[in-house]
Amino acid sequence: MNSSDIIEKIHGLKRERNAVILAHNYQISEVQDIADYIGDSLGLSVTASKTNADVIVFCGVHFMAETASILNPDKIILMPDINAGCPMADMITANALLSLKTKHPKAKVVSYVNTPAEVKAESDICCTSSNAINIVESIMDTGEIIFAPDKYLSHYVSTQTNRKLIPWDGYCPTHVKILPEDILRQKKSYPEAKVIVHPECTPSVIQLADEVLSTSGMCKYAKTSDANEIIVGTEIGILYRLSKENLGKKFYPASENAICPNMKLTTLEKVLWSLEDMKYQVKVPEDIRVRAKMAVDRMIGVI
Ligand code: 13P
Ligand code: SF4
């Protein structure tokens, strides 16, 4: 089957099943092109919370599909490839978090959405890369805050607020591949270019940036800023969307090594099979879902 046949079949099955396709900004170009909505973790969560569809095909990684399940217990959430996980989310477990909480019994817990549902269930509030500063500032209690699992996002937020954060020792294996020397090399090659980076980057990379933005924040910046050339410090899948939406502007990856293999597991064929076979369904158990939803709802209430 060629890709136009696959696309036609996907559209037919979408109508038949009343399905919507959500895709993260890092997905491969063909998948971005068939999506009803492309966005960052926050945008995808909010869209998932508002959809009237019966079925959500989630083209992203596992924690994102779980968040859709947390917000939509009555809908069918499908992942075209169930092996698409997030190594950072796997760097924390609910038991490990509970053990840290016993050492800091008064601390509030802010968990990045890149966490398993069980961890969200033990958290006071969630955040994403686009709202982490606001979420931390929304906590009235000025005592300690456990911020998990991304130590670099935690460091960045602590430089932007005057709150005491207790970091977790997690990180994104893709974003740590972007090195300060990559930014310096690209700046030398493109002296007029602005530098935008994701807050999952290391502090030495963040220091060299003009703007620190979530993936959708980057898309907005590219459209609204006067910059005609932009060096992009995040997973390189986003360059497709940036170039498509901003004809005439030039985008350069900070590093060609910044590839998230899990984000590349979803293909057009797998999206089709997923709708044909109604696989792979992601459903968070009800007792965990109810507690995790409180943390996700609190986040959605702040933004
Ligand atoms: P965004 O919320 O900025 O899209 O980030 C999600 C993610 O996994 C980044 O690596
Ligand atoms: Fe997880 Fe990093 Fe991949 Fe984002 S880019 S899904 S944080 S491993």
The pLDDT, as a whole number, for residue 303 is 67
Atom of ligand 1 nearest to the CA of 40: 4
**For residue 149, which ligand has an atom nearest its CA?**
2
Residue whose CA lies nearest to ligand 2 atom number 7: 172
**Which of 47, 58, 113, 128 has the most ligand 1 atoms within 8 A of CB, as the residue to mutate?**
128
Centroid of ligand 2 to alpha carbon of 87 (angstroms): 7
pLDDT 10s digit of each residue in the chain, 303 long? 899 999 999 999 999 999 999 999 999 999 999 999 999 998 998 898 899 999 999 999 999 999 999 999 999 999 999 999 999 999 999 999 999 999 999 999 999 999 999 999 999 999 999 999 999 999 998 899 999 999 999 999 999 998 989 999 999 999 999 999 999 999 999 999 999 999 999 999 999 999 999 999 999 999 999 999 999 999 999 999 999 999 999 999 999 999 999 999 999 999 999 999 999 999 999 999 999 999 999 999 886
Tens of pLDDT, residues 232-269: 999 999 999 999 999 999 999 999 999 999 999 999 99
Residue 240 has, within 13 A of its CA and on its CB side, a CA count of 15
Strands 108-112 and 55-59: unpaired
Under 8 Å CB-to-CB from 274, ≥6 apart: which residues?
57, 78, 79, 80, 280
Report DSSP state, residue 150: B
What tokens appear for 189 in the block?
A: 């090659």
Centroid of ligand 2 to alpha carbon of 105 (angstroms): 30
Centroid of ligand 2 to alpha carbon of 260 (angstroms): 6
Tens of pLDDT, residues 24-47: 999 999 999 999 999 999 899 889
Centroid of ligand 2 to alpha carbon of 152 (angstroms): 13
Kind plus residue range of the DSSP H or E element containing 117: helix 117-121
> For residues 19 and 298, what is the distance between their CA atoms, to the nearest angstrom?
27
Centroid of ligand 2 to alpha carbon of 261 (angstroms): 9
Residue whose CA lies nearest to ligand 2 atom number 2: 172
The response to whether residue 27 sits with its C-beta less than 6 Å from ligand 1 reads no
Q: What are the strands, taking DSSP E only, across 54-112?
A: 55-59, 76-78, 108-112
> For residues 303 and 290, what is the distance between their CA atoms, to the nearest angstrom?
21
CB 205 within 8 A of CB 233: yes
Helix (H, G, I), strand (E, B) or coil at 250: strand
**For residue 173, which ligand has an atom nearest its CA?**
2
CB 75 within 8 A of CB 281: no
Atom of ligand 1 nearest to the CA of 213: 3
> For residues 43 and 37, what is the distance between their CA atoms, to the nearest angstrom?
9
